[in-house]
């Protein structure tokens, strides 16, 4: 049978060979042109092969082909043309422009939309297509790696928003988040309410030219999110269904901890060393340690009373009865599923986009859930030839169960795992290790009444028994009218209303104490916060082209904005039943509070753009803003920009085969910032609510500065946009220099003046009596480079890649007085994120004590050298030269497409930044015996002569975990943010099934991370590089389907 | 027709959306605060200002071991020899004296901030009241009360951050102020201990004549200012004045009887209490409340124990105070006793005592003893002890030194858990601390005058105060 087959194949092969010989090669020539004339640089390929050529300067080409070959003509920006080689030896081709070329792409910019080639500012565009299969919950996560945009995505709780900084951090104490514009209006709701599938594109505006029209709020950059609009489908619409299902977990491993036995033996050592330091003899110290270790630990997981012998080892007759793995108990395997339906279409006059979506996403901290329902309608219609109307509306309802997932509060399960070691039982046990059952034979939670840290608390009981439910409802309605005077002038009036309601329902179940105490101390809190914003934007725009070469565009606008925040909260205590948390069911209302805050903005703006023959570009913009937070005299700020662009290509290189586009542009301008957390900076305020019993009380909470004004950001940008090799390689290179003057600065003088005011409030916010001032200057400079390339493109196979890299250098140029801020120190001439702290000098090999460096000062006060000291408070603080800001960061992506299969990889990387790891420092020094400890503590100094970087274990406070460079770690990392493999059903099958598109894919997010530092769980922590026991980023593996009908 | 329609529409839009910008921007106003003008115009406004100041004194916090003004005293108490924290729990850093090591320490920062904040608030209100249009006598009364509170703040600060008075009053004191933070005042230097006490005493002496005893008990009544003067004079060793003011201060208050004494020290409606800061169910701090630490019969931290050695000082079986120190039944000698002197209320709203008449009796007795008026001292002491012990008899101490020692022990037995006497008395008398033996899990030994008797000036102060440098640190 096999032989038979082989013979058949041989014969066929022979025949085809014969056929080939018969088909003769011949030379053909031709000219390729478009409506304007010959086209140089057009690529011509024989279909199915990689053989080809290009047209020369005059559009001519010659090729060796065979009759019957199919020639494919391709040029970026033009529709592909195929010709079959027939008898003729001349094949001339006429090519037509295809609207989807790069420069013609319409990009959302301030209050307008412009073609990419007409933009002379620094704008990065990310289209929804580029983001692809990334599983995001909050839309801005999709922007990680965009050049000029730095993002830290630090939470494993779905629905948490990442921190974004554009071109560095622009203010010392003002708000440094970029402005988010959704469909033309400022968005004040929660970003996790926007459906990822509704977004068509993101524009990141970075320089003065791009942001000047946002005046007061554009200082930190602007992200414009544009949702999809309806399309003219000539009647029948499009149905799209997207769905995916996946599994999530923590992307990186947690720290490794000591076992229960190791906790007991290291605690013994700590006590023994404490006694030796007190002067006890060795034997005495050992006996004391053996008899006290289990009392100090407040628990005994062993079978005998004193399980540790006087050598510090577990006795052979001592059996470990249990060991509790809190990480496993307090984390969960998480799932993620989403479904969305889109209906889209329209005709010449009316276009619609309707979508509905559902997302259910869990985090890896136990019981963390996020569920969201979205609905959106985007409509637009041409009522008359001179009048268009449109309206975007969306509703989002999300429910989440968010156990606290950062910070050192009791309810943070991650903090719990990092604090409580495995010797502590989850359930009550007898001395023999068996469970103490209740009357129904069930296990009972152990509430650690004896323990001093996290005492009177059981994390599992708390997670399930104390309910924390949050609901967020966002309602947005945004209608607009456009009146066309003629083809040159039109007036657009847009109104935007957003109502964001946040509901918190917390029930704190009190588990400890007598039954009456439990009932009395249960409490329920209901919180209802509403943020209502409305925005009116009126713009008059003008566009005209004179003499074919001069194009003038003008824009005049007026804007009003009102943001009102209202919070109401009430608490009641005394609940007999734990599952009926309504406030009416409580015995005693103990708290009722409400606050209202309102701020308003009023602005005028205008812009003028001119270009000559699309070769020389000039643009200028002005905005005048007033804010209600400043005194009347200082309310208004004027901000402006000028920019110019020069298409070097059109000047010198037109028709060049190598270069397709080369444009130089520069911009300079000013933008303002007024975003601070004080509502009325020009008023002295005495805050109410400081009551004693039924007597009302007030306390000074704010000091006025009627001279306070806008912080001004002066931005310079120089950029080059390029495209080479038939636009197969294109990108841009930018240099920016931003200088902030009149820095908004909260001046808090020495505490003896009374500057701490009323201290911290119920939300741990400071009520310091500082004065807001404009004092100081800061600069941010850097480079951005991004390049995209089409490496291989032929009929069957396409390989593209992209690369982006950004740098940022921050410097405080001037500041009123040196400010020590924890791990940082703000001083003129330095980077605001440079770590400043004591320098670790190692462990003294003789004593085992930790040591830091201290300057040696001579009698005149001059520093002559340094020495080591084991007294922490005497050690000197130094600038470390290490910053939380990276040297460079960016993204690397690549995509392969072959025959309907696509494989995409996207990496993010960051190098040069440092992280101050307080999580690890806490794990290396148990302040309380029995606290969770890192297995690194086994390296502790034991005897004279030992060289190690872990000092001798002791119960005493030795400042080992106090702030020093010992805990400063390198934050370098590379992360495979997304890898996705997809398959698109081919045209034949699609036609058979009568569907437009079907794609199946497997996508893995954050599945591989390389980090330089081992003693760090996840390299994405916070912008300032300081850890906080966060539940960090998730990795998700999902399977999805996209169908279009 | 089309054009008319077009232009009308445009016109309507333009009119509809343009409004006067200033009116628009003037509308938002503060909704949770009032201006100075409103505050000082009426008496109820000024009363609210004073109430707010006491609320800060009651509530200013950093963490659970530094929650409210009471923690100033409780922290000092556990630094002494009588109350202990044998396990790893809140107040262990105080108990082990770790808190006086570090200028970044929580307590060192918190105590400094708290009392200087209240002092500034007091000065701010003095200026506000002075320039107000209230009647002169009311103004005088308010201003005196405010100045007395400022003196109280300086007194508490100098006791923590400066050395014992007996080591020399030319040694560094604490920064003093006359201007408020609103005036961009420049931070001052440490000055001397003498300057500090001169300021405290002058301010109090000037205030007392204008004060009354008609205010609520959480406010500073005249007796409280007199009691404070008694404390201050005791501290600097001015025995005559100490005795004089102690005798004045205790007038009008009745010593608790044995029944009231055991009711839990948790209500401001106590005839012996001179000054207290009260709570109601919605204002109480929850887990970090005072009772949580010291009352082992309530759910809370329950981590403060009574030293065996201290318990042994209660020799008389008829002393009601002995019955309040109960055995835990533990075999561990470091956790043998707890106190039931302080009892949490069911709704956790127990009030905190800051000054009571018993202390006045003890100050008078000590002062008289130091002046060699042994009979006088013994009589005053007996007056107090009669209310505590039915079998109390006149003291049999033969010498001044012996009587003083006896009175110092009585101060500890009477006032433990309230005013930190266990530590403050050792410091003001410039004595050493030797806390060791099987009763103590955390032994501590420091000779008199050791730098560790003083809290470190907060690093934030040194960094921002041009008049205090590292060289001025303790």
Tell me the pLDDT tens digit for each residue of A786-796.
999 989 888 78
Yes or no: say if A85 and A77 are a contact pair by the CB < 8 Å rule: no
Residue-level pLDDT at A157: 76
Yes or no: say if B340 and B294 are a contact pair by the CB < 8 Å rule: no
> With 0-12 CB in 10 A as exposed, 13-18 as middle and 19+ as buried, what is A725?
middle
Nearest to B148 by CA among B216, B229, B213: B229
Give CA–CA dist A317/A525, Å, rounded: 51
ipTM of this model? 0.92
Please answer yes or no on whether B299 and A818 come within 8 Å at the CB atom.
no
Q: Which residue of A has its CA nearest to B55?
A: A690
Give CA–CA dist B417/B264, Å, rounded: 12
Considering the domain boundaries, does residue A752 fall inside one?
no
Residue-level pLDDT at B16: 45
Residues near B102 by Cβ (< 8 Å), separated by ≥ 6?
Answer: A872, A873, A959, B108, B456
Determine contact: A407 vs chain B, CB below 8 A: no
Determine contact: A152 vs chain B, CB below 8 A: no
Give CA–CA dist B168/B23, Å, rounded: 64
Per-residue pLDDT tens digits for A908-920: 999 999 999 999 9
Per-residue pLDDT tens digits for A608-639: 999 998 889 999 999 998 888 888 888 888 88
Nearest to B116 among A599, A752, A957 (CB): A752
**Which of the 8 DSSP states describes residue A162?**
P
Looking at the predicted structure, is the pLDDT value of residue A145 above 90?
A: no
Chain B residues with CB under 8 Å of A602 CB are: 21, 24-25
Q: Which residue of B has its CA nearest to A571?
A: B282
Determine contact: A1008 vs chain B, CB below 8 A: no
Residue-level pLDDT at A1: 42
Give the Å distances, CA to CA, from A241 to A358, A378, A1044: 12, 18, 6
A414 — phi, psi (to 5°)? Answer: -65, -40
Per-residue pLDDT tens digits for A722-759: 988 888 899 999 999 999 999 988 889 999 999 999 99
Looking at the predicted structure, is the pLDDT value of residue A197 above 80?
A: yes
CA B462 to chain centre: 24
Determine contact: A34 vs chain B, CB below 8 A: no
Give CA–CA dist A953/A938, Å, rounded: 9
Which of the residues in chain B have pLDDT under 50? 16-19
Yes or no: say if A1027 and A823 are a contact pair by the CB < 8 Å rule: no
Q: Which residue of B has its CA nearest to A452?
A: B89
Which of B299, B446, B467 should be substituted to probe chain A, the one whose Cβ sees the most A Cβ atoms within 10 Å?
B299
Considering the domain boundaries, does residue A54 fall inside one?
yes
CA B182 to chain centre: 26
Determine contact: A754 vs chain B, CB below 8 A: yes
Give CA–CA dist A406/A402, Å, rounded: 11
Instruction: Read off the pLDDT band of A18 (50, 70, 90).
Output: very low
Residues near A355 by Cβ (< 8 Å), separated by ≥ 6?
Answer: A195, A197, A198, A228, A340, A341, A342, A343, A374, A375, A376
Please indicate whether residue A583 or residue A215 has the higher confidence score (pLDDT).
Answer: A583
The two beta strands, A877-883 and A834-838, are antiparallel
Other C-beta atoms lying within 10 Å of the C-beta of residue A62: 14
Number of domains in chain A: 1
Chain B residues with CB under 8 Å of A485 CB are: 6
Nearest to B17 among A298, A536, A693 (CB): A536
Residue-level pLDDT at A290: 96
Give CA–CA dist B39/B125, Å, rounded: 9
Give the Å distances, CA to CA, from A474 to A32, A69, A253, A530, A734: 55, 59, 36, 10, 38
Determine contact: A600 vs chain B, CB below 8 A: yes
Considering the domain boundaries, does residue A851 fall inside one?
no
| Total CB pairs under 8 A between chain A and B | 275
Say which residue the tokens 């609009």 belong to: A229
Please answer yes or no on whether B28 and A628 come within 8 Å at the CB atom.
yes
Please answer yes or no on whether A700 and B121 come within 8 Å at the CB atom.
yes
Nearest to B56 among A695, A699, A753 (CB): A699
Three-class secondary structure of residue A378 per DSSP: strand
Chain A residues with CB under 8 Å of B295 CB are: none
Residues near B244 by Cβ (< 8 Å), separated by ≥ 6?
Answer: none
Residue-level pLDDT at A100: 42
Chain A stretch 760-779, residues whose beta carbon is closer than 8 A to a beta carbon of chain B: 760, 769, 771
Nearest to B465 among A514, A693, A752 (CB): A752
Give CA–CA dist A893/A980, Å, rounded: 12
Chain A residues with CB under 8 Å of B299 CB are: 456, 510, 512-514, 517, 521
Chain A stretch 509-548, residues whose beta carbon is closer than 8 A to a beta carbon of chain B: 510, 512-514, 516-517, 520-521, 536, 538
Closest Cα in chain A, distance from residue B113 (Å) = 6
The two beta strands, A777-793 and A771-774, are unpaired
H helices of B169-319, in order, are 193-207, 222-236, 239-249, 258-261, 290-294, 308-311
Chain A residues with CB under 8 Å of B188 CB are: 752
Chain B residues with CB under 8 Å of A689 CB are: 32
Residue-level pLDDT at A980: 93
Please answer yes or no on whether A493 and B13 come within 8 Å at the CB atom.
yes
Q: At what angle do helices A260-278 and A282-297 cross, to 10 degrees?
A: 130
A36: domain range? 23-94
Looking at the predicted structure, is the pLDDT value of residue A8 above 70?
A: no
> In the numeric block, which tokens belong to residue A171?
């203010």
Residue-level pLDDT at A658: 83
Please answer yes or no on whether B177 and A753 come within 8 Å at the CB atom.
yes
Nearest to A286 by CA among A308, A317, A262: A308
Complete domains list, chain B, with CATH: 44-472 (1.25.40.390)
Per-residue pLDDT tens digits for A515-572: 888 898 899 999 999 999 999 999 999 988 888 889 999 999 999 999 999 999 999 9
Give CA–CA dist A247/A1040, Å, rounded: 12
Mean pLDDT for the stretch of residues A108-119: 79
Residue-level pLDDT at A20: 45
A104 — phi, psi (to 5°)? Answer: -90, -5
Please answer yes or no on whether B13 and A483 come within 8 Å at the CB atom.
yes
Give CA–CA dist A1032/A414, Å, rounded: 10
Nearest to B218 among A597, A686, A692 (CB): A692
Instruction: Read off the pLDDT band of A498 (50, 70, 90).
Output: very high
Residue-level pLDDT at A368: 86
Per-residue pLDDT tens digits for A660-707: 889 999 999 998 888 787 778 888 899 999 999 999 999 999 999 888
Considering the domain boundaries, does residue A229 fall inside one?
no
CA B149 to chain centre: 11
Please answer yes or no on whether A754 and B56 come within 8 Å at the CB atom.
no
Please answer yes or no on whether A873 and B21 come within 8 Å at the CB atom.
no
Determine contact: A820 vs chain B, CB below 8 A: yes
Q: Nearest 10 degrees: CA dihedral of A71, A75, A81, A83?
A: -20
Give CA–CA dist A230/A242, Å, rounded: 18
Q: Which residue of B has its CA nearest to A277?
A: B443
Per-residue pLDDT tens digits for A402-440: 755 555 554 578 889 999 999 999 999 998 889 999 999
Chain B residues with CB under 8 Å of A703 CB are: 181-182
Closest Cα in chain B, distance from residue A123 (Å) = 31
Q: DSSP string of A198-228?
A: GEEEEEEE-SHHHHGGGGGGGGG-EEEEEE-
Determine contact: A483 vs chain B, CB below 8 A: yes
Please answer yes or no on whether A753 and B19 come within 8 Å at the CB atom.
no
Determine contact: A452 vs chain B, CB below 8 A: yes
Say which residue the tokens 């905190």 belong to: B352
Indicate which CATH number applies to the domain containing A39. Answer: 2.60.40.10
Per-residue pLDDT tens digits for A785-836: 999 998 988 878 889 999 999 999 999 999 888 888 889 999 999 999 999 9
Determine contact: A354 vs chain B, CB below 8 A: no
Nearest to A754 among B58, B121, B302 (CB): B121
Nearest to B275 by CA among B211, B354, B330, B159: B354
Chain B residues with CB under 8 Å of A872 CB are: 102
Give the Å distances, CA to CA, from A360 to A246, A497, B182, B390: 10, 27, 52, 73
Q: At what angle do helices B193-207 and B136-161 cross, to 10 degrees?
A: 150
Determine contact: A818 vs chain B, CB below 8 A: yes
Mean pLDDT for the stretch of residues A764-768: 89
CA B26 to chain centre: 43
Per-residue pLDDT tens digits for A175-191: 888 889 998 888 887 88
Nearest to B6 among A449, A483, A769 (CB): A483
Considering the domain boundaries, does residue A74 fall inside one?
yes
Chain A residues with CB under 8 Å of B278 CB are: 692-693
Per-residue three-class SS string for B345-408: CCCCCCCEEEEEHHHHHHHHHHHHHHCCCHHHHHHHHHHHHHCCECCCCCCCCCCHHHHHHHHH
CA B362 to chain centre: 19
> In the numeric block, which tokens belong to residue A364?
């890896």
């Amino acid at each position: 049978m096999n032989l038979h087959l082989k013979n058949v194949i041989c014969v066929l092969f022979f025949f085809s060979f014969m056929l080939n010989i018969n088909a003769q090669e011949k030379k053909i020539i031709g000219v390729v042109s478009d409506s304007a004339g010959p086209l140089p640089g057009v690529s011509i390929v024989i279909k199915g092969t990689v053989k080809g050529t290009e047209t020369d300067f005059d559009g001519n080409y010659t090729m060796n082909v065979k009759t019957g070959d199919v020639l494919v003509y391709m040029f970026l920006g033009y529709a592909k043309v195929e010709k079959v080689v027939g008898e003729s030896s001349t094949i001339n081709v006429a090519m037509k422009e295809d609207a989807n070329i790069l420069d013609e792409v319409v990009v959302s910019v301030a209050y307008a939309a412009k073609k990419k080639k007409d933009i002379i500012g620094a704008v990065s565009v990310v289209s929804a297509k580029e983001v692809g299969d990334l599983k995001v919950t909050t839309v801005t996560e999709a922007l990680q790696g965009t050049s000029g945009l730095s993002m830290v995505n630090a939470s494993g709780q779905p629905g948490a928003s990442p921190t974004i900084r554009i071109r560095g951090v622009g203010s010392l104490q003002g708000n440094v988040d970029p402005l988010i514009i959704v469909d033309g209006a400022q968005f004040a709701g929660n970003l996790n309410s926007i459906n990822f599938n509704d977004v068509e594109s993101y524009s990141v505006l970075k320089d003065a030219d791009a942001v000047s029209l946002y005046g007061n709020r554009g200082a930190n950059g602007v992200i414009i999110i544009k949702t999809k609009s309806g399309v003219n489908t000539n009647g029948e619409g499009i149905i799209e269904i997207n769905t995916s299902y996946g599994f999530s977990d923590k992307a990186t491993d947690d720290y490794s901890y000591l076992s229960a036995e190791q906790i007991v033996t290291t605690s013994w050592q700590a006590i023994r060393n404490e006694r030796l330091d007190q002067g006890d003899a060795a034997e005495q110290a050992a006996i004391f340690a053996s008899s006290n270790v289990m009392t100090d630990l407040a628990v005994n997981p062993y079978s005998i009373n004193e399980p540790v012998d006087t050598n510090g080892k577990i006795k052979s007759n001592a059996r470990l009865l249990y060991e509790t793995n809190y990480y496993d108990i307090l984390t969960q395997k998480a799932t993620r599923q989403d479904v969305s339906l889109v209906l889209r279409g329209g005709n010449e006059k009316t276009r619609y986009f309707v979508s509905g979506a559902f997302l259910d996403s869990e985090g890896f901290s136990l019981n963390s859930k996020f569920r969201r329902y979205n609905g959106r309608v985007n409509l637009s219609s041409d009522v008359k030839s001179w009048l268009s109307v449109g309206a975007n509306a969306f509703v989002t309802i999300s429910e989440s169960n968010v156990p606290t997932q950062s910070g050192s509060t009791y309810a943070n399960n991650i903090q719990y795992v990092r604090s409580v070691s495995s010797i502590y039982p989850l359930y009550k046990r007898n001395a023999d290790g068996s469970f103490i059952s209740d009357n129904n034979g069930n296990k009972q939670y152990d509430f650690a009444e004896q323990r001093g840290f996290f005492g009177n608390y059981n994390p599992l009981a708390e997670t399930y028994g104390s309910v924390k439910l949050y609901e967020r409802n966002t309602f947005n309605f945004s209608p607009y009218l456009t009146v066309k005077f003629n083809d040159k002038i039109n007036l657009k009036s847009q109104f935007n209303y957003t109502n964001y309601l946040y509901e918190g329902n917390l029930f704190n179940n009190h588990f400890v104490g007598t039954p009456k105490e439990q009932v009395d101390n249960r409490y329920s809190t209901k919180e209802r916060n509403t943020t209502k914003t409305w925005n009116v934007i009126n713009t008059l725009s003008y566009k005209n082209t004179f003499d074919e070469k001069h194009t003038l565009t003008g824009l005049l606008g007026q804007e009003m904005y009102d943001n009102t925040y209202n919070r109401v909260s009430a608490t009641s205590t005394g609940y007999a039943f734990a599952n009926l948390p309504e406030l009416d069911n409580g015995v005693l209302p103990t708290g009722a509070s409400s606050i209202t805050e309102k701020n308003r903005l009023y602005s005028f703006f205008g812009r003028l753009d001119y270009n000559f023959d699309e070769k020389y570009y000039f643009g200028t913009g002005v905005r005048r803003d007033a804010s209600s937070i400043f005194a009347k005299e200082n309310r208004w700020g004027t901000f402006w920009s000028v920019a110019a662009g020069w298409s070097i290509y059109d000047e010198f290189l037109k028709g060049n085969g190598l270069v397709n586009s080369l444009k130089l542009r520069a911009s300079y301008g000013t933008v303002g910032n007024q975003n601070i957390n004080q509502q009325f900076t020009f008023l002295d305020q005495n805050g109410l609510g400081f009551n004693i019993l039924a007597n009302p009380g007030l306390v000074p909470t704010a000091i006025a500065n009627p001279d306070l004004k806008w912080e001004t950001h002066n931005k310079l940008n120089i950029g080059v946009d390029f495209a080479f090799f038939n636009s197969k390689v294109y990108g841009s290179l930018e240099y920016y220099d931003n200088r902030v003057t009149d820095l908004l600065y909260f001046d808090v003088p020495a505490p003896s003046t009374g500057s701490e005011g009323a201290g911290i409030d119920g939300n741990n916010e400071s009520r310091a009596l500082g004065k807001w001032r404009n004092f100081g200057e800061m600069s941010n400079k850097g480079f951005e480079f991004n390049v995209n390339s089409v490496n291989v493109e032929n009929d069957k196979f396409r390989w593209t890649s992209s690369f982006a890299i950004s740098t940022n250098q921050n410097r405080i140029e001037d500041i009123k007085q040196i400010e020590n801020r924890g791990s940082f120190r703000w001083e003129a001439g330095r980077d605001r994120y440079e770590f400043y702290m004591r320098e670790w000098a190692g462990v003294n090999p003789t004593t085992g004590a930790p040591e830091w460096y201290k300057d040696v000062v001579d009698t005149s006060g001059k520093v002559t050298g340094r020495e080591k000291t084991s007294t922490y408070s005497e050690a000197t603080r130094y600038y470390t030269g290490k910053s939380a800001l990276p040297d460079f960061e960016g993204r690397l992506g690549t995509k392969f497409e072959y025959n309907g299969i696509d494989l995409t990889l996207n990496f993010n990387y960051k190098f040069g930044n440092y992280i101050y790891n307080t999580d690890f420092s806490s794990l290396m020094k148990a302040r309380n015996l029995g606290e969770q400890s890192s297995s690194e503590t086994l390296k502790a100094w034991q005897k004279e002569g030992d060289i190690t970087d872990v000092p001798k274990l002791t119960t005493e406070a030795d400042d080992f975990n106090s702030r020093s460079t010992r805990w400063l770690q390198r934050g370098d990392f590379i992360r495979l943010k997304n890898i996705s493999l997809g398959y698109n059903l081919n045209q034949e099958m699609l036609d058979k099934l009568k569907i437009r598109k079907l794609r199946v894919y497997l996508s893995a997010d954050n599945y591989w991370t390389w980090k330089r530092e081992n003693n760090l769980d996840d390299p994405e922590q916070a912008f300032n590089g300081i850890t906080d026991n966060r539940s960090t980023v998730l990795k998700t593996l999902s399977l999805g389907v996209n169908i279009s009908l | 027709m089309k054009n008319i329609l077009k232009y009308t529409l445009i016109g309507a839009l333009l009119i509809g959306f343009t409004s006067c910008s200033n009116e628009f921007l003037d509308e938002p106003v503060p909704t949770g605060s009032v201006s100075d003008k409103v505050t000082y115009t009426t008496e109820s406004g000024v009363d609210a200002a004073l109430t707010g100041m006491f609320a800060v004194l009651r509530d200013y916090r950093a963490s659970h071991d530094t929650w409210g003004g009471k923690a100033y005293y409780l922290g000092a108490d556990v630094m002494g020899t009588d109350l202990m924290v044998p396990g790893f729990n809140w107040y262990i850093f105080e108990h082990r004296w770790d808190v006086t090591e570090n200028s970044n320490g929580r307590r060192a920062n918190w105590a400094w901030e708290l009392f200087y904040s209240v002092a500034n608030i007091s000065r701010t209100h003095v200026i506000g009241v002075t320039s107000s249009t209230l009647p002169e006598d009311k103004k005088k009364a308010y201003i005196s009360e405010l100045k007395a509170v400022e003196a109280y703040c300086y007194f508490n600060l100098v006791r923590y951050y400066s050395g014992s008075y007996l080591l020399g009053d030319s040694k560094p004191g604490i920064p003093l102020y006359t201007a408020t933070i609103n005036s961009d005042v420049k931070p001052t230097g440490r000055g001397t201990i003498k300057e500090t006490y001169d300021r405290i005493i002058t301010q109090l002496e000037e205030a007392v004549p204008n004060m009354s005893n008609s205010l609520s008990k959480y406010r500073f009544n005249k007796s409280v200012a007199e009691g404070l003067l008694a404390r201050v004079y005791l501290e600097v060793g001015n025995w005559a004045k100490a005795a004089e003011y102690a005798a004045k201060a205790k007038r009008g208050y009745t010593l608790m009887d044995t029944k009231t004494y055991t009711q839990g020290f948790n209500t401001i409606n106590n005839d012996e209490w001179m000054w207290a800061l009260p709570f109601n169910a919605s204002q109480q701090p929850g887990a970090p409340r005072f009772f949580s630490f010291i009352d082992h019969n309530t759910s809370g931290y329950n981590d403060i124990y009574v030293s065996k050695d201290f318990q042994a000082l209660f020799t008389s079986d008829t002393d009601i105070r002995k019955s309040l120190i109960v055995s835990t039944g533990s075999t561990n000698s470091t956790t043998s006793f707890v106190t039931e002197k302080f009892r949490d209320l069911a709704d956790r709203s127990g009030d905190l005592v800051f000054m009571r008449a018993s202390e006045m009796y003890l100050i008078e007795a000590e002062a008289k003893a130091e002046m060699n008026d042994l009979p006088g001292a013994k009589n005053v002491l007996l007056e107090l002890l009669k209310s505590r012990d039915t079998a109390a008899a006149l003291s049999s101490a033969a010498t001044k030194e012996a009587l003083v020692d006896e009175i110092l022990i009585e101060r500890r037995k009477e006032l433990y858990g309230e005013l930190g006497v266990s530590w403050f008395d050792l410091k003001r008398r410039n004595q050493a601390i030797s806390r060791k033996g099987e009763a103590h899990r955390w032994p501590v030994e420091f000779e008199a005058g050791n730098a560790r008797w003083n809290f470190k000036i907060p690093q934030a102060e040194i960094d921002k105060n041009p008049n205090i440098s590292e060289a001025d640190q303790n």
